[in-house]
Amino acid sequence: MKDDSGVDKYVFSVSVFLIGIFVLFGLFLPEDLEKWAGLALNFSIDKFGWFYLISTFIMLIFCIYLIFGPYAEIRLGKDEDRPAYSYFTWLAMLFSAGMGIGLVFYGVAEPMIHYARPPMGMADPYTNDAARLAFRYSFFHWGLHPWAIYSTIALAIAFFQFRKNEPGLISVTLRPLMGDNVDKVSGKWIDIISIIATAFGVATSLGLGSLQIHAGLHYLFGLPEGKSITIFIIIITTVLFLISAMTGLDKGIKILSNTNLTIAALLFLFIFFVGPTNFIIELFTTTVGSYIQNFIPMSFRMNPFTGGKWLAGNTLFYWAWWIAWAPFVGTFIARVSRGRTIREFVVGVMLAPTLLGCLWFSALGGSSLFYEMFHNAGIVKAVLQNETTAIFLSLAQLPLGSFLGFIATSLIIVFFVTSADSATFVLGMLSSKGDMNPKNSVKFTWGVLQASIAITLLLTGGLKALKTAAIVIALPFSFILLAIVFSLLKILKEDLASRKNRT
C-alpha cells in the first residue's frame, strides 16, 4: 500500500535492503564479492552472450517497424496532447541521461584501445585497418543498438502512462500479458529489479565520473591524487545534483541538460574547426559507410570456434550495460516525451543521439587518432596506462589545450550532475508507485544512497564489482525487455482497432 509519504513501502524497503546487503558485503568481504560477481558475470556472458545479441537486435527491428508501421501516428497521450518541451531541450535531456559521462570518458579511450588492440584480431595493431575497425566498433557500441533498447522501454512506459493513464512504472507495461498480477507481488519485483539496476548503474557512473573529474583537476591544477579527494568530489557533486533534482524537472534538470549539450557542442565545434577538419570529415564519412555495410555481421558476430574474450569484454559487455541502464533512462525519457507521436518519438530517441554520438567520436577520437598517427602524441600509451587522463592529453595537442581541458572537466561535472539528478528523479518515481513528482525527501534518500554506494565501493576497491553486478542484473531484465516488446505490440494493436472503430 501507499503510505502518507507517497512511498510504496514494499518496493522501497526491499530495494534498500538488497542494496544495503550488497554494500555491506563489499565493505566487509570485498574479495569474496569480487569473486562471486566475477563468476556470475562469466556465467551470464558465457551461457547467454548469444541472447544479449539476439534480444538487442529484436528491439532494434521492433523500433524500425514502429517508424514505418501502422502505429506511427499514435500519440503518447491523448490525441490532443502536444509536447511540453522544444526539440532542443528534449534531445538535450534524453542525450544527457542516456550517454552523459560515458561519451566524454570513452570518446578518446575506446577508439584508441581498439587501435592498439583490434577487435577479435581482425587487423594488426597500429595499422590503418586497425584504425578503421576501431571507429567502426565505437560507432557500433554507441549507436543504434543502445538507443533501440532505450526507445523500447521508454515508449512502453510513455504509452501506458500518458495514453492509458497508468502509473509511471515498468511493471504496468506488462499488463497486457500479466493482467492484474502487475499490481501484486510479481509486479512489484519487476520494479524492484528496475530500481536495483538503476542504483547500481548510476552509482558506477558516479564513481567513474568522480575519477575523471579528479584526473582533470590533477592535470589542470596539480590536485593531489588519492581516494579521499575523489570521495570529497563525490560529496560535492552529490550536493549539486540533489539541489538540481529538488528544484524539479522544469528547472534544474532542464537547465543543466541545455547547458551540457551547449558546452559539448562548443567543444565539438572547436575541435572540428581548429583540429584536423578534413581528417575528421573523411573519418566520419568512411566510418558511417563501414558501419552500415557491416551492420548485420557485427550485430550477430560470435566466436564459437576460437573463444570470445574480446567479444565478452566489449560488445556483450556494452549490450548488457545498456540493458542495465534501460530502467533509469527509459523511465526518464518517457517522463519528458508526452504528446509526441510514436514515429516522432522513435526517430528522435534512436536516430538523433546516434548521429550526435558518431559525430562526437569522429571529432574527439578522430583528432586523437590524427595526432597519434602523424605526430606521435603518445595518446595510446596514456590510454593504456590510465583511461581517465587520455582526453586531457588529446586536447593538449590543440591550441588552448589547458583551457579545453578546463572545459572538458566542466562538461564532465555537468554531465555527472545531470545523469545523477535524472536517476534520483526516476528512483523516486519507481519507489512511489509512479508518482510523476516524487517528494523531495524520497529523492534526497535515493541521492544519498547512490553516493554512499559509490563511496563505499570506491573505498573498498569494489567499483569493478559494482559494475559487474550491474551487468549481471541485465540478464533477467533483458527477458523483461523482450516481454515488453510483445506486450506493447498487443496493446498497440488494440488501440489502433479502437481508433478505427471510433471513426
Q: What is the tens place of the pLDDT at every residue in 417-434?
A: 877 887 888 898 899 988
Residue 175: the pLDDT is 96
Q: What is the mean pLDDT of residues 53-80?
A: 94
Whole-number pLDDT of residue 3? 44
DSSP state of 214: H
Name the more confident of 121 and 190.
190
Q: Do residues 107 and 383 make contact, with C-beta atoms less than 8 angstroms apart?
A: no
Instruction: Note the pLDDT of residue 295.
Output: 96
The size of the chain, in residues, is: 503
Kindly tell me if the per-residue pLDDT of 102 is higher than 90: no
pLDDT of residue 464: 66
Average confidence (pLDDT) over 242-266? 76
* H or E, element range at 28: helix 9-28
Mean pLDDT of all residues in 305-317: 76
Q: What is the pLDDT of residues 205-239, one digit of tens each?
A: 788 788 888 888 888 888 888 888 888 888 998 88
Q: Are 259 and 267 in contact (CB under 8 A)?
A: no
pLDDT value, residue 85:
85
pLDDT value of residue 2: 40
Read off the pLDDT of residues 143-181 as tens digits, 9 standing for 90 and up.
999 999 999 999 999 999 999 999 989 999 999 999 999
Average pLDDT, the chain: 87
Residues 466-483: pLDDT tens digits? 667 767 778 888 999 999
CB neighbours of residue 451 within 10 Å:
24
- Is residue 450's pLDDT more than 70? yes
Identify the three-state secondary structure at position 75. strand
Are 148 and 98 in contact by the 8 Å Cβ rule? The answer is no
Predicted confidence (pLDDT) at residue 122 exceeds the cutoff of 80: yes
All cell numbers assigned to 236: 560535492
Give residue for cell 547467454: 48
Q: Is 341 helix (H, G, I), strand (E, B) or coil?
A: strand
Rounded-to-integer distance, Cα 252 and Cα 246, Å? 8
Q: Does 201 score more than 80 pLDDT?
A: no
Q: How high is the pLDDT of residue 249? A: 57
Per the CB < 8 A criterion, the answer to whether 322 and 471 are in contact is no
- pTM: predicted TM-score of the whole model, two decimal places: 0.90
* CB proximity list for 324: less than 8 A, separation 6 or greater: 197, 200, 201, 470, 471, 473, 474, 477
> Within 13 A of 116's CA, how many CA atoms are on the CB side?
14
pLDDT at 124: 95
Question: Whole-angstrom Cα distance, residue 28 to residue 22?
Answer: 10
Confidence at 87, pLDDT banded by 50, 70, 90: confident
Mean of the pLDDT values across residues 317-337?
87
User: What average pLDDT does range 307-312 have in this prediction?
Assistant: 75
What is the predicted pLDDT for the residue at 253?
Answer: 66
4 has pLDDT over 50 = no
pLDDT for 318: 87
212/233 Cα distance (integer angstroms): 10
Residue 469 is placed in which grid cell? 553486478
Please give the pLDDT value at position 467. 66
Kindly state the cell numbers that stand for 205: 557512473
Phi, psi of 131 (to 5 degrees): -65, -45
Residue 416's pLDDT band (boundaries 50, 70, 90)? confident
Residue corresponding to grid cell 550526435: 356
d(CA 155, CA 425): 18
Residue 253 vs residue 364, higher pLDDT: 364
The answer to whether 382 touches 390, Cβ cutoff 8 Å, is yes
Q: What is the DSSP letter of 365?
A: I
Interatomic CA distance for residues 57 and 149, integer angstroms: 9
Domains and CATH numbers, the chain: 10-502 (1.20.1740.10)
| Most confident segment among 66-70, 455-459, 494-498 | 66-70
User: Does pLDDT of 271 surpass 60?
Assistant: yes
Residue 192 pLDDT greater than 90, yes or no:
yes
DSSP 181: G
C-alpha span between 159 and 51 (Å, rounded)? 27
